[in-house]
């Protein structure tokens, strides 16, 4: 099954790319933006049909490689 993981920067970590995107959006006329934070999205096809086990495998990947827990949080979503 395919499991997705979203990696986002923790609140107190500076995100200069997000800031620049925010400024650009404002420049384009999107005036209602409070903040933009940029993250990463992964779709991982795991050879496992049990959703709990599949999520567990991807969670282990997040902890060990996909996210750096000093600066990032991860969220796991089961897609199909």
Partner 1 sequence: MKSSVITFPGSNCDRDMDVALNKFGFKNKMVWHNDHELPKSDLVVLPGGFSYGDYLRCGSMASKSKIMHSVINFAKSGGLVMGICNGFQILVESGLLPGVLLRNRYLEFICKNVYVKIDNKQNPYFKNLDKEVFEFHIAHNEGNYFCTKDQLKEIEANNQVAVYYCNDEGKTEDLFNPNGSIKNIAGIFNKEKNVLGMMPHPERMIDQSLSGEDGSLFFKNLINNLK
Q: Does residue 36 belong to the site contacting partner 1 (CB under 8 A)?
A: no
29: left (phi over 0), alpha (psi -120 to 50) or beta: left
Q: Does residue 20 belong to the site contacting partner 1 (CB under 8 A)?
A: yes
Q: Does residue 65 belong to the site contacting partner 1 (CB under 8 A)?
A: yes
Nearest 5°: phi and psi at 77? -125, 130
Whether 55 and 2 have beta carbons less than 8 Å apart is answered as no
> Which of 2, 13, 33, 77 lies at the binding interface for partner 1 (CB under 8 A)?
13
Whether 63 and 69 have beta carbons less than 8 Å apart is answered as yes
Is the Cβ of residue 17 or residue 51 nearer to partner 1 in the bound state? 17
Residues within the interface to partner 1 (CB under 8 A): 13-14, 16-17, 20, 65-66, 68, 70-71
């Amino acid at each position: 099954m395919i499991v997705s993981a979203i990696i986002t920067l923790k609140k107190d970590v500076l995100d200069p790319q997000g800031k620049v995107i925010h400024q650009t959006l404002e420049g384009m006329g999107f005036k209602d933006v409070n903040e933009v934070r940029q993250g990463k999205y992964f779709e991982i096809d795991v050879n496992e049909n049990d959703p709990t086990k599949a999520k567990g495998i991807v969670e282990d990947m997040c902890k060990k490689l996909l996210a750096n827990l000093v600066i990032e949080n991860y969220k796991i979503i089961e897609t199909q």
